[in-house]
Chain A
Amino acid sequence: MNEPIRIRATLQGDVADVRVRMAHPMETGLRKDADGRLVPIHYIRTFIARLNGTVVFEAQTSQAISRNPVFGFKLTGAKAGDKLAVTWQDSRGGSRTDEVLIGGS
């Protein structure tokens, strides 16, 4: 849960091609552990991308998203130096935010 969100953004003109990877178990509540006990449900419910503080992409997600979720999306009107922040919130109230500068070196 303490692992940062990996964010990669590549500019193509004014479109930022974004790929994010969030470290999360994404437990469905249907999986059994080695002792045959059901592992409680625990999954990312929402994530939001902000460009320079403004929400530009929003997702509602279920437990059917694969473990350590990877998402790709494309933001318009982006330029080098813009701040891209991603925040997720999970079904147990956990959350994490990380950010990158687009095209920043």
Chain B
Amino acid sequence: MNVRSRRSFLHVASATGLVAVAGPVVTMRAAQAADGKAAFEAKTTADAMKALGIAPAESKDVYLKAPDIAENGAEVPLEISSNVPGTQSIAVFIDRNPFPFVASFDVSKGALPFVALRVKMSETSNVRAVAVAGGKAFAATKEVKVTIGGCGA
């Protein structure tokens, strides 16, 4: 099913000449379009990343600002920025949430590689911020201790 929809996307994309013009970017976006659903439904960060086709390396060029301790897991503020040249998108994962893939932000069309958001955390977990640039992924990871889980929020 995924392979099929990706193929049809590529078929349309190549028919309109998009692939020829902007190769790797479109390929990445095709992967996201086809596998976004699978990634959001994945029960582990590893499976979600696999569905998105990324295998991030830890990098000091990705910054993740998150509290050491979150008293209320229903509202944990995160701030992410990237110094990786050519950052196209920023994704967020929370390992121990029921569905670890939280969100993905496309910053390639006129935004700086920065995003601030508030997330729910069901329990103490590693939070991963991933910057994707030129088909490669870079991550910053931080553990956030949660006093009261936000699953029921």
Interface residues of A (CB under 8 A from B): 15, 19, 28, 30-32, 49, 51, 54-67, 69-77
Contacts and interface: CB of A to CB of B under 8 A. Distances in A.
Given A28-B153, A31-B153, A65-B118, A51 B102 contact: no
B151 A28 contact: yes
A23 to B, nearest CB: 14
Contact of B110 (A31, A56, A62): A56
13 contacts: A19-B116, A28-B98, A49-B111, A57-B105, A60-B32, A60-B40, A60-B104, A65-B103, A66-B74, A66-B118, A66-B120, A71-B115, A73-B114
Contact of A73 (B111, B152, B153): B111
A73 B116 contact: yes
Contact of B40 (A31, A51, A62, A67): A62
Contacts of B105: 57-59, 73
A55 B118 CA distance: 23
Contacts, number: 104
Nearest to A61: B103
Contacts of A54: 109-110
Contacts of B120: 28, 63-66
B152 to A, nearest CB: 5
Q: Does more than half of chain A's interface fall in helix, strand or loop, or is it mixed? A: strand
A63 B115 CA distance: 18
A70 B109 contact: no
Contacts of B114: 72-74
B117 A62 contact: no
B74 A65 contact: no
Contacts of B97: 64
Interface in B98-149: 98-99, 101-107, 109-112, 114-121
